[in-house]
Structure 1
């Protein structure tokens, strides 16, 4: 598993920020400009595109070839208050379905710096069932210029607990999730409440009562030394 998300030998060049990179087999990340090149999309074998944009960019950041590719368009505000976790399941389902059918997916926003990388980091984290930190480094090793804003980074960290709690809940023996009950009428609302209580209990068990032994975090890759392109629109 370690080799799946370890560092790779790549020499990053500034102009590569205007290209897309393959993050994991069949999943590409890049800027909007990469999604406008039909030749590029054809050469990469892209079949599906996730277009993530701020609503005010809708006039320019939009599906360009709807007759050739299957699109998922997400209107997302590029600010630290935007809830990404609520929007992520739909994006994940679209990507999973595309790759499962043998397709290849490009995920892009305007600049490929903050918005779309946040979604891809969350996808990689759950796909490989790794920590938010390892997922961030995996994506950053392949697209060095990414820099999710502080609010997005906080949600990426929070999503690690959410997906791990769901994994634990799914694998927990059914007989231990709830004791046998005597006759009573159970409606859908009661079932939902029971699942939420069980999920919360498992979350406490995994992340509070039995925390990870290693609590040290590696420093994230810094990009402070990068040249700033005054003509680039970064999102």
Structure 2
């Protein structure tokens, strides 16, 4: 899915979100729309077929700890397209490695006009971390703004400390990929040609040094010429 261009004012408005939402405790058991086409919530929201249909859900990212697989699982595979990720909800779990697959799934669904629900068991730490990564890269904003964007729509989220560290790390990763993609291809071609020329020059210098060493080595084995005998030379008795 292509990232649209937004002005600074538009980004600020998007991060702030709707200002007329009064958060109630029971809303943590519901799912909320984070951006058009992407919703975030707990597992309990994914258990209600009526709820999913009311939100026009077409795709579901089910994120769970392997220990929860018996209960946290796809409930309606005949109605929705699922992506299931077994992820431990602890500070040592590597989310960055798993995120590209989730992002590709979400991008594909939204680009086809679908509605995606991302959920874990409680919708507090694990699934919100994935959604924060997604909106961070989608809007090309920093991790703190992305976190606020999601929190302003689902107030109860609280990724653990390890996940927050990875959000900071992912900001640098996605920005580097954006910079590489934006680098003019012509400059890349010039840089590649220059690198190839430099490599050829270095190779030629190496060949020259090899030839020079071979000549010096062969000269070292040639005996010096014998002195010539001059019969007319003066002999000292």
Common fold: TM-score over 0.5: yes
2:16 aligned to which of 1, 6, 30 = 6
Matches within 5 A, 1:38-187: 38-177=49-188, 178-180=191-193, 181-182=196-197
Q: Unpaired runs of 5+ in structure 2?
A: 1-9, 201-237
Following superposition, the deviation at residue 159 of structure 1 comes to: 0.5
**C-alpha separation in 2, matches of 1:156 and 1:11:** 28
Please give the secondary structure, in 2, of the residue aligned with 1:142. coil
2:45 aligned to which of 28, 34, 41 = 34
Between stretches 79-88 and 2-11, larger displacement belongs to: 2-11
2:28 aligned to which of 13, 17, 21 = 17
Q: Unpaired runs of 5+ in structure 1?
A: 186-235
**C-alpha separation in 1, matches of 2:160 and 2:112:** 33
Following superposition, the deviation at residue 179 of structure 1 comes to: 3.8
Following superposition, the deviation at residue 173 of structure 1 comes to: 1.8
Q: For residues 159-203 of structure 1, give each alpha carbon's deviation from its aligned partner in whole angstroms, at most 9, with x where no partner exists.
A: 111000000011112343424124989xxxxxxxxxxxxxxxxxx
Structure number with the higher helix fraction is: 2
| TM-score of the superposed pair, with normalisation by structure 2 | 0.76
**C-alpha separation in 1, matches of 2:198 and 2:161:** 50
Larger radius of gyration: 2
